[in-house]
Structure formats: structure tokens, C-alpha cells
Amino acid sequence: MNNKLTLVIDNQFFINVELFKALLNFSNVKIEICDNWQKMSFRNRSMVAGANGLIGLTVPVLKGRDQKGLFKLVKIDYRSKWQQQHWRTIVSCYNRSPFFEYYADSLREVIFQEYALLFELNLATLQWAIQCLKFSVNLTYTDSFLPQYPNFVTDYRNRFSPNNFQNIDQPVYYPQVFEAKIGFQKNLSCIDIICCEGPNTINVLQTGV
């Protein structure tokens, strides 16, 4: 761990595996909350793997495609039953994974808690992952938006998007539920690796085995 450097990340809905891995290498992590809303990002979506391939979990937001302004003010739209849909999808994807039963109750609680703001929900999903694995990280928030950071800060904001998240030469590998049928799927939601590897997740992220 590099105690001198800071990592800046975007605030994702169930952080993806490769960005999750980056958290372990920094003692200080800043979550960007002063940026504007961006379409086609992981701010309101996460990727899981089912028997037939990749599945996107998307949190609807008020104003939808017309959403503009600061990300931290974006409100979640509860008019559809997206929470029930997400949960059914997660159960179908992971109920046969080795550790789903250990984390199911706490995961369900996060998904069905009605947060007003997307930022709050995303933070809860990150805290869920951290608490599941019992590791320590100093999380703070940005207090202003900087287009670029100095060299002593590592900027991983928007490093992964739904359009490029699997463009990784040496991905974190672990056995997945449907790997025999659909092949190994790179850089999924942290839900995937936690349900598949449980307490061994940290070791996998650090060593790749």
C-alpha cells in the first residue's frame, strides 16, 4: 500500500472488480461528488453475469435522459419496481455461488433501502462491499471539481465505462458461476467476486489467485 498517494474514483453503483482492486493499493481514497451527471456510466448501473451472458443492473433516475447538473443531486426514480427486478436477477445469477447465502441478507437490505439520492445509494453499496470483506480504507469526498489532478494523485475517474469495462489485458481472475457456459467475464460488479470468493476476495484482488 502506498501511504503517500491518493486515489480519486467516481461513485459507482456496486463498484466493479478492477476499480475495487485499486482501492487496496491506496490508504486514502477520494470519491468524486462534485462532477456533473454523465450518461452511459457506472454511476447508475452495474454488470453481473447470468446463464446467458452479461446482465446490466440499472437504477432509474428522475428526469431520465434529460438529467443534467451535479451528480450528487441526482434523485432515484422509484416509480418502477427496479429493486425487485434487481433482486430477482441477483438471486438467479448467484444463488448457486459459494458465498451468496452469507451475504444475501445484507445485500438485499442495501438494494431495498429507499435512498433519495443516487449518491447515497452508491455509497451504501461501496460500504457494503468493504464491510463484507472487513478491510480498512480512508474514504473522503472531493470538495471541488478538478479536471486534472497533480502527479501525486491517481485519477481513476471514468476509467471504466459500460463501453470499455472489459478491455483489460490482465484481469483479476476467479472461478465464476456460469464460466463453463459463457466463459470468464472480466470486471463485473463487486457482487460477483464477493459471492464467488467470499473472504478470499481480498487475496484474489491482491494476488490474482
Dihedral, CA atoms, 71, 72, 74, 76, nearest 10 degrees?
120
Question: Rounded mean pLDDT of 144-168?
Answer: 93
Residue 194 contacts by C-beta under 8 Å, 6 or more apart in sequence? 99, 103, 129, 132, 133, 201
pLDDT tens-digit readout, 26-66: 889 999 999 998 888 999 999 999 999 999 999 999 976 66
pTM of the model: 0.93
Instruction: State yes or no: pLDDT of 1 exceeds 50.
Output: no
Instruction: State yes or no: pLDDT of 85 exceeds 90.
Output: yes
Quote the pLDDT of residue 152: 87
The CA distance from 208 to 205, in Å, is 6
Question: Rounded mean pLDDT of 82-96?
Answer: 98
Quote the pLDDT of residue 180: 97
Instruction: State yes or no: pLDDT of 151 exceeds 90.
Output: no
CA 209, 93, 97, 78 dihedral sign is positive
Quote the pLDDT of residue 114: 95
Quote the pLDDT of residue 209: 53
Q: Do the Cβ atoms of 5 and 154 come closer than 8 Å?
A: yes
pLDDT tens-digit readout, 105-137: 999 999 999 999 999 999 999 999 999 999 888
Quote the pLDDT of residue 66: 64
Which residue from 39, 35, 56 is spatially nearest to 47, judged by alpha carbons? 56
Domain ranges of the chain: 2-207
